[in-house]
Structure 1
Amino acid sequence: MLKVAVAQAGSILFDIPRTLDRVETLCRKAAAQGAQLLVLPEAMVGGYPKGLSFGATVGNRTDEGRELFRRYMEAAIRCPGPETAQLESLAHELNLYLVSGAVERDGNTLYCISLVITPNGGVVAKHRKLMPTGSERLIWGFGGGDTMQVVQTEIGRIGMAICWENYMPLYRQHLYNQGVELWCAPTVDAREMWQTSMKHIAYEGRCFVLSACQQLATSDWPADLQEIGGEIHGRSLIVSPRGELLAGPVAEPDLLFAELDMDEIQRGKFDLDVAGHYSRPDVFRFEPRLD
């Protein structure tokens, strides 16, 4: 059995050191309760600026919005950098596999990313969100197909789909074709439809789905932004390969745990393998473009 955890917690906006302190607390708590894998939410290290407009309308940007974006950029991380080194050190010390959402600064462009960090290998994968959603396109760059890899680890094959990437059918098929076993879905989407989608993906892909959603409170914002900064309401969950809830959703900040029987993946594929006998390659052809 593989014991896993998902974190339902928020960033402390514009404050990386305090956010990393919160991440460390979550890691230590998860490890103390026997978890071998912990999944952290989307943009956990760097922050998800829900509700901010950055002073932008079509054809116009304000000076105040530009200054707010500068503050947001200053709170992003380099990868590799001191923050990823801190996460690697935690993973090694606690013998804990981590999947962590973050906001990466590369040059002067920001990317929403998710990292796979192993106890002995450090950062073994970085995925940049392929398709920022809605107003996210104003603050985050577009990821490339070369980061859509499933990673073989000692605890299973880990794949990542950030938030609404989970709604991209061909993205899902790309991960299915790579034999994803632990589907990690960092998100900020707390809606009922998201819960339905996570169950569908687990059932469709015959994989375990670990969805970690931020629980962002007004108190997590700087004082000058608390009146306009939004909240995020969690409802993380863990789902089995047959679409059954193993943990969650819950409404309060917490760690959710589940013990996974990895043999359930093969049992589920007895009657549905969308990358194998149920894919009908004689009729359909899937050719991902990663260039």
Structure 2
Amino acid sequence: MNESVIKGNELKVALAQIAPVWLNKGKTIEKIKSCIIEAGKSNCELIVFGEALLPGYPFWVSITNGSEFDSTYQKKLFAHYANNSVQIENGDLDELCSLAKEYNIAVYSGIIERPKNRGGHSLYCSLVYIDATGSIKSVHRKLQPTYEERLVWSPGDGNGLQTHNLKKFTVGGLNCWENWMPLSRTALYGLGENLHIAVWPGSEYNTRDITRFIARESRSFVISVSGLMRKSDITSDIPGFERIIENAPKVMGNGGSCIAAPSGEWILEPVVDKEGLIIQTIDFDRVLEERQNFDPVGHYSRPDITKLSVNRERQAIVDFNDF
């Protein structure tokens, strides 16, 4: 097929399997911008980045006794992380939005968000969708941080359980182990999702099984995008560098980005230890083909017997009634 010709039922996607400039918001934004430009020049219509990529996953927690209460060391690292987190209200993503518009490309990216509507001090692992006009259409805060993540991330809410139209596709996404939560997946299925985005900090161990499972369960395309993180990505300007580098394994995130078809078969098997863009074209008609015999929220559902209730209200500690 001539890659320069994209049919109306097809979508050209870029999986950005990259490492952050770890815990550095400004430099990581520059790296993300370069990927968007490269994907845009390749006529991609969607680019996806891994979980927490901006400014990076908190790998230090598990290797520096992150559970030690009231630790000065952990406090300083958290403050550094917070200072490099994303405040959307302050325009931290404006440059990415401008590039999305310039290149007519949609963007899914994992960020660490420090939202003002929750006081502006707590951190959330969020998945942001920017459409091809450069507008932020949803910010999904991870519902349940996993294990040691709970020491730095706060639990999110259902507001970001949303889907978006992208050509013939309906696209939605979840962060990491949220993809194992059947009711969260069902919420997106019920919104018509047929292209599921799963973002991860970086591990083939996570993506190899669940990617194909979700595809087969939902009869949708599933794109899993993972980051990379190596000991060599830890820079000496990070607070507590010596302790982190002493305990860090050589590889903390090896990638594993992949794509499964609605049949559950691989379109792209997990890619390991390779940094850069991975570009593929997917065909919407394959969704319709697989929905012929199974549709989890359509003809193969029984809403008269089982039904899901979802609260999508954005949570806040105070409701102000101004007159």
Q: Give the TM-score normalised by the residue count of structure 1.
A: 0.94
RMSD over aligned Cα atoms: 1.7
State the 1:220 CA deviation.
1.8
Q: Distance in 2 between matches of 1:49 and 1:286?
A: 33
Q: Deviations over 1:165-190 (max 9, x none)?
A: 00001111111111102211111251
State the 1:31 CA deviation.
1.9
What secondary structure does 2:43 align onto?
Answer: coil
**Match for residue 57 of structure 1?**
67
Letter in 2 for 1:270: Q
Q: Distance in 2 between matches of 1:90 and 1:226?
A: 35
What secondary structure does 1:61 align onto?
Answer: coil
Letter in 1 for 2:58: P
Contact kept in structure 2, 1:111 and 1:141, CA below 8 Å? yes
Q: Distance in 2 between matches of 1:121 and 1:33?
A: 18
Alpha-carbon distance change, 290 to 96 in structure 1, aligned in 2, over 3 angstroms: closer
State the 1:28 CA deviation.
1.8
**Match for residue 89 of structure 1?**
98
Q: Give the TM-score normalised by the residue count of structure 2.
A: 0.85
What secondary structure does 1:83 align onto?
Answer: coil
Q: Does 1:206 align with 2:232?
A: no
State the 1:130 CA deviation.
0.6
Q: Does 1:79 align with 2:88?
A: yes
Q: Distance in 2 between matches of 1:163 and 1:89?
A: 27
**Match for residue 263 of structure 2?**
242
Contact kept in structure 1, 2:260 and 2:266, CA below 8 Å? yes
Larger Rg, first or second structure (1 or 2)? 2
What secondary structure does 1:137 align onto?
Answer: helix
Q: Does 1:47 align with 2:21?
A: no
State the 1:98 CA deviation.
0.4
State the 1:39 CA deviation.
0.5
Alignment of 1:58-207 (within 5 A): 60-106=69-115, 107-154=120-167, 156-207=169-220
Q: Distance in 2 between matches of 1:193 and 1:142?
A: 21
State the 1:236 CA deviation.
0.3
Q: Does 1:256 align with 2:256?
A: no
State the 1:55 CA deviation.
4.8
Letter in 2 for 1:188: P
Q: Deviations over 1:190-226 (max 9, x none)?
A: 1435311110101111111111101112222122243
**Match for residue 26 of structure 1?**
35
Alpha-carbon distance change, 90 to 191 in structure 1, aligned in 2, over 3 angstroms: same
Q: Percent identity?
A: 31
Alpha-carbon distance change, 220 to 82 in structure 1, aligned in 2, over 3 angstroms: farther
Q: Distance in 2 between matches of 1:255 and 1:61?
A: 41
Unaligned runs of 5+ in 2: 1-9, 314-323
Q: Does 1:11 align with 2:20?
A: yes
State the 1:81 CA deviation.
3.0
What secondary structure does 1:264 align onto?
Answer: helix
For residue 297 of structure 2, the aligned residue among 266, 275, 279 is 275
